Amino acid sequence: MIPRGFRFSAVNAGVKSPQVKRADMGLIVCDRKAVLSGVFTRNQVKAAPVVIGEELVRAGAARAVLANAGNANACTGIQGIQDARMLMEAAAKSLGIESSEVVPLSTGVIGVHLPVDRMVSRIPDLVSGLGNDPDVFARSIMTTDTFPKVVSRTAGRSTMIGIAKGAGMIAPDMATTLAVILTDAAVSKQALDNIIKNAVERTFNAITIDGDMSTNDTLLALSTGYVTENIDEIEKGLTEVIRDLAILIVKDGEGATKFVTIVVDGAHSEKDAKKAAMSVANSLLVKTALFGADPNWGRILAAIGYSGATIDPEKIAIEISGYEVVTNGQESKGFHEDTLHSLLKEKEITIGIRLGMGPGSFTAYTTDISYDYVKINSEYRT
């Protein structure tokens, strides 16, 4: 089931190369002007579609989202902005709407200009192919993803759906991704802004795969306003959609063999809890130990120590998948390396950290780092 008022399509335009034959351009269209919200990368190097998207989100309304994979349109200067606007204008003309109602999204290789002529030539087919299958759009924005990411929820009579891509270059402050959240619920611009901002902080800003922040991170939310529903139910549903998308991105981490949940409790504040959680989640030494099932719990303790969080080392406790590893900052009595080694072989691992400093808590999601991660990212452009 999809929210009322939305249609989807995808085509192949050979965006990265004419030799690429899979769908790499996608279109979402609303049958009426939708309320538009969004959050973007905090990287100071911003792709052309991010610069334009930020402007459109401030205006607060849209009728379409035009996306491509294979080329980020980042670090492309004024021409990059002009190219994106040319595509927006071509899509708007085919749809009979204003170009300012088309939001651009791009993902892929940085520093290469878009093949605009090739892409513009496929827009009529994008428009004529519009239908009710969101999966086609989800596949069109995939890069190193191994599966399309689509989730949905209902809130009373309203429906919401989320579509995302992302598998690598994932770090907090709008983790590296493209995501579009759609709902037919009636939500004001201010309410939608607040819901998205709050939801992202504990979802997309709580995931990390490799600690690298993209130039193109974008999460858009559009509401067609067909259904009136309780705002608390709408917020709950949208937050769950965003959370589930974030978790899918981590589970599809480039070369990842394990999905890791890091729960920090007892921090001086939530801010401190997040510092500790993300420090552990981003530690290459922790992530390589997880890959090799190496019971080297000292790496976790070290990452907490340099996180910047207020701690007392003698109060720290750590358990891994329910097994007590550290008590009062030292190895727990009865600890056995073989037991932890076996637990670390599992595909899903939970690291629980208790700091004993206060009420702050935060949950982060990450992966291990494998040989395949290096292979994928050493051949990305070639």
Annotated active-site positions, please?
Answer: 176
Straight-line distance from the first to the last Cα atom of the chain, in angstroms, rounded to the nearest whole number: 39
Indicate the helix (H) or strand (E) that contains 310.
Answer: none
Query: CA triplet 158, 135, 15: central angle to 5 degrees?
Result: 130
| Concatenated DSSP letters of 32-76 | EEEEEEEEE---SS--HHHHHHHHHHHHTEEEEEEEESSB---S-
Q: Which residues pair with 109 in a beta bridge?
A: 71
Distance CA(110)–CA(217), nearest Å, equals 13
Q: Which residues pair with 161 in a beta bridge?
A: 152, 182
Collapsed DSSP state (helix, strand, coil) of residue 136? helix
Helix and strand counts by DSSP (H, E) for the chain: 11, 14
Distance CA(188)–CA(295), nearest Å, equals 50
**DSSP-derived pairing of the beta strands 218-227 and 178-185:** parallel
| Phi and psi angles of residue 286, each rounded to the nearest 5 degrees, phi first | -65, -45
Cβ burial, residue 89 (10 Å; 0-12/13-18/19+): middle
